[in-house]
Structure 1
Amino acid sequence: MKRRDLLKAAMASPLLLAALPGGLVSVCAAAARGAAGMLRSRVRPGDAGWPSVAQWDRLNRATGGHLLKPESPFAHCGIDGSDAACKEALQHIKNPFYIGDQPALTQTSGWADAWLSQPSAYAVAARNASDVAAAVNFAREHHLRLVVKGGGHSYQGTSDAPDSLLVWTRAMNTVTSHDAFVAQGCVGTAPQPAVTVGAGAMWIDAYDAVTTQGNRYVQGGGCTTVGVAGLVQSGGFGSFSKQFGTAAAGLIEAEVVTADGVVRTANACTNPELFWAIKGGGGGSLGVVTRLTLRTHALPEFFGGVFGAIQASSDTAYRALIAKAIEFYQASLFNPHWGEQMSLRGERVLRVSMVFQGLDKAQAEKTWQPLIDWVNERKEYAFVEPLKARALPARHFWDAEFFREHAPGLMVADDRPEAPRNRVLWKGDQGQVGWFIHAYQSIWMPASLLRKDRQSDLVDALFAAAGKWDVELHFNKGLAGGGDDAIARSRDTATNPAVLEAFALAIIGSSGSPAYPGMPGATVDIAKARDDAKHVSAAAEALRKIVPDAGAYVSESDYFQASWQSAFWGTNYSRLAAAKRKYDPEGLFFVHHGVGSEGWSADGFTRTT
Structure 2
Amino acid sequence: MKRRFLLKAATALPFALAHPANLAWAAPARRARVRPGDPGWPSAAAWDKLKTDVGGRLVKLDAPFAGCAAGADTPACATALARLKNGFDVGDQPNFTHTSGWLDAWSSQPSAYAVAARTTADVVAAVDFARAHDLRLVVKGGGHSYQGTSDAPDSLLVWTRHMNDVRVDPAFVAHNCGAAPQPAVTLGAGAMWIDAYDAVTTRAGRYVQGGGCTTVGVAGLVQSGGFGSFSKRYGTAAAGLLEAEVVTADGQVRIANACTNPDLFWALKGGGGGSVGIVTRLTLRTRDLPATFGGVFCKIRAAGDNAFRALLGKLVDFYAKNLFNPHWGEQISLHGDNTVDVSMVFQDLDEAGAARTWAPLLAWLDAAPDYTFERPFKVLALPARHLWDAAFFREHAPGFMVADPRPGAPAHHVIWKGDTEQEGWFIHGYKSAWLPATLLDASRQASFADALFRASRHWSVGLHFNKGLAGAPAAEIDAARDTATNPAVLDAFALAIIAGGDGPHFPGMPGGAVDAPRGRARAQAIGRAMDALLAVAPGAGSYVSESDYFLDDWQTAFWGANYPRLARIKEKYDPQGLFFVRHGVGSEGWSDDGFTQLAT
TM tier relative to shorter chain: over 0.9
Give the partner amino acid of 1:186.
C
Q: What residue number does 2:85 align with? A: 94
Of stretches 120-129 and 516-525 in structure 1, the one that deviates more from structure 2 is 516-525
Which residue identity is paired with 1:292? L
The match for 1:558 is 548
Q: Matches of residues 263-274 of structure 1 in structure 2 within 5 Å?
A: 263-274=253-264
Determine the C-alpha separation between the residues in 1 that align with 2:78 and 2:493. 45
Verify the 8 A CA contact 1:35 1:586 in the aligned structure 2. Answer: no
Tell me what 1:505 maps to.
Answer: 495
- Residue in 1 that maps onto 2:9: 31
- 5 Å matches for 1:60-75? 60-75=51-66
Aligned twin of 1:426: 416
**For residues 67 and 79 of structure 1, what CA distance do their matches in structure 2 show?**
26
Shift of 1:35: 5.9
Q: Distance in 1 between matches of 2:330 and 2:431?
A: 17
Corresponding residue of 2:302: 312
Distance 1:447 1:599 in 2: 36
Contact 1:32–1:599 (CA<8 Å) still a contact in 2?
Answer: no
One-letter amino acid of the counterpart of residue 141, structure 1 = A
Unaligned runs of 5+ in 2: 15-27
Is the partner of 2:435 in helix, strand or coil?
A: strand
1:287 correspondence with 2:277: yes
Whether the 8 Å contact between 1:181 and 1:191 is mirrored in structure 2 is yes
Q: 1-side partners of 2:511 and 2:92: how far apart?
A: 23
Matching residue of 2:149: 158
Q: CA deviation at 1:94?
A: 2.4
* Structure 1 position 484, deviation (Å): 1.2
Cα distance, 1:418 vs structure 2: 2.3
Aligned-partner SS, 1:78: helix
- Pair 1:599 & 2:577 matched: no
2:95–2:110 Cα contact (<8 Å) kept:
yes
1:87 to partner: Cα distance = 1.1
**How many residues in Structure 1 have an aligned counterpart in Structure 2?**
586
- Taking the TM superposition and a 5 Å limit, the aligned residue runs for 1:172-183 are 172-183=163-174
The aligned counterpart of 1:46 is: 37
The one-letter code sitting in structure 2 at the alignment partner of 1:491 is: R
Supply the distance in 1 between the matched residues of 2:70 and 2:41 (Cα, whole angstroms).
34
**Letter aligned with residue 103 of structure 1:** P
Aligned counterparts of 2:586 and 2:289: Cα–Cα separation in 1: 39
Structure 2 counterpart of 1:137, one-letter code: D
Residue 372 of structure 1 corresponds to which residue in structure 2? 362
Paired with 1:83 and 1:171, the residues of 2 have a C-alpha distance of 29
- What CA distance in whole angstroms lies between the structure 2 residues aligned with 1:304 and 1:482? 18
In the aligned structure 1, how far is the partner of 2:169 from the partner of 2:352?
35
Measured against aligned partners, the alpha-carbon deviations of 1:313-353 in whole angstroms (never above 9, x if no partner) come to: 11111011001011000000000000000010131001100
Alpha-carbon separation, structure 2, partners of 1:601 and 1:90:
33
Distance in 2 (alpha carbons) for counterparts of 1:258 and 1:485 = 31
Distance in 2 (CA, whole Å) between partners of 1:448 and 1:246 is: 21
1:335-354 paired onto structure 2 within 5 Å: 335-354=325-344
| Residue equivalent to 1:6 | none
| Amino acid in the other structure paired with 1:124 | V
Which of 94, 112, 116 lines up with 1:125 in the alignment?
116
Q: Which position in structure 2 is the counterpart of 1:144?
A: 135
**Structure 2 CA distance for aligned equivalents of residues 527 and 235 of structure 1:** 35
Q: Give, in whole Å, the separation in 1 of the partners of 2:551 and 2:231.
A: 25
Task: Judge conservation of contact 2:336–2:458 (CA < 8 Å) in 1.
Answer: no
CA deviations over 1:179-233 (Å, ceiling 9, x no partner): 110100102x111000001000000000000001110000000000000000000
Q: In 2, distance between residues paired with 1:92 and 1:165?
A: 23
Residue matched to 1:530: 520
2:229/2:329 contact within 8 Å kept: yes
C-alpha contact 1:476 1:504 (8 A) present in aligned 2: yes
Shift of 1:33: 4.8
Distance 1:441 1:247 in 2: 22
Q: TM-score, normalised by structure 1?
A: 0.95
C-alpha distance after superposition, 1:338-390 (max 9, x if no partner): 00000101310011000000111110011011111110110011111111110
Query: Which residue of structure 1 aligns with residue 447 of structure 2?
Result: 457
Whether the 8 Å contact between 1:441 and 1:558 is mirrored in structure 2 is: yes
Partner of 1:256: 246
Partner of 1:576: 566
Higher relative contact order (CA 8 A, sep 6+): 1
> What is the aligned partner in structure 1 of residue 388 from structure 2?
398
Equivalents in 2 of 1:85, 1:196: separation in Å?
37
- Classify the secondary structure of the residue corresponding to 2:555: helix
The residue that corresponds to 2:19 in the other structure is none
Tell me by how many angstroms 1:83 deviates: 2.7
One-letter amino acid matched to 1:42? R
What CA distance in whole angstroms lies between the structure 2 residues aligned with 1:34 and 1:605? 22
Deviation of 1:419 after TM superposition, in Å, equals 1.4
1:557 and 1:94 map into 2 onto residues whose CA distance is: 25
Q: How far is the alpha carbon of 1:128 from its aligned partner?
A: 1.0
- Matched to 2:5, the amino acid is V
Q: Which moved more, 1:513-522 or 1:447-456?
A: 513-522
Mapped to 2, the partners of 1:143 and 1:34 lie a distance apart of 22
Distance 1:46 1:358 in 2: 60
Deviations 1:96-119 (A, max 9, x none): 101101100111000000001011
1:419-459 CA distances to partner (integer Å, 9 max, x unpaired)?
11211111111121110011000000000000001111111
Deviations 1:272-315 (A, max 9, x none): 00000010000011100000100000001100000001110111
Partner-residue secondary structure (3-state), 1:270: coil
The equivalent of 2:72 in structure 1 is: 81
Is the contact between residue 478 and residue 499 of structure 1 (CA under 8 Å) also seen in structure 2?
yes
- Checking the alignment, whether the CA contact within 8 Å between 1:173 and 1:201 is kept in structure 2 is yes
Letter of the structure 1 residue corresponding to residue 34 of structure 2: V
One-letter amino acid of the counterpart of residue 339, structure 1:
G
State the Cα deviation string for residues 512-548 of structure 1 (Å, max 9, x = none): 1111111112121111110000000000000111111
Deviations 1:231-284 (A, max 9, x none): 000001000001111000000000000000001000000000000001000001
The one-letter code sitting in structure 2 at the alignment partner of 1:107 is: H
Amino acid at match of 1:577: A
Q: Tell me, yes or no, if the aligned pair for 2:13 and 2:571 is still in contact at 8 Å.
A: no
CA distance in 2 between counterparts of 1:597 and 1:194 reads 34
Tell me how far apart the structure 1 counterparts of residues 361 and 408 of structure 2 sit (CA, whole Å). Answer: 47
The corresponding residue for 1:13 is none
Give the root-mean-square deviation of aligned CA atoms.
1.1
1:25 CA displacement? 4.5
- Is the 8 Å Cα contact of residues 94 and 434 (structure 1) preserved in structure 2? no
> Which of the residues 160, 167, 171 maps onto 1:169?
160
Cα drift, residue 170 of structure 1: 0.3
CA–CA distance in structure 2, aligned partners of residues 524 and 427 of structure 1:
26
2:403 to 410, 413, 420: 413
Q: Name the structure 1 match of 2:207.
A: 217
Matched, 1:470 2:488: no
Q: Secondary structure at the match of 1:553?
A: coil
2:320 — aligned with what?
330
The 3-state SS of whatever aligns with 1:82 is coil
Contact 1:136–1:259 (CA under 8 A) maintained in structure 2: yes
Per the normalisation by structure 2, the TM-score is 0.96
2:137 and 2:158 in contact (8 A); partners too: yes
Q: Which amino acid aligns with 2:4?
A: S
Percent of counterpart pairs with the same letter?
Answer: 65
Which sections of structure 1, spanning at least 5 residues, go unmatched? 1-19
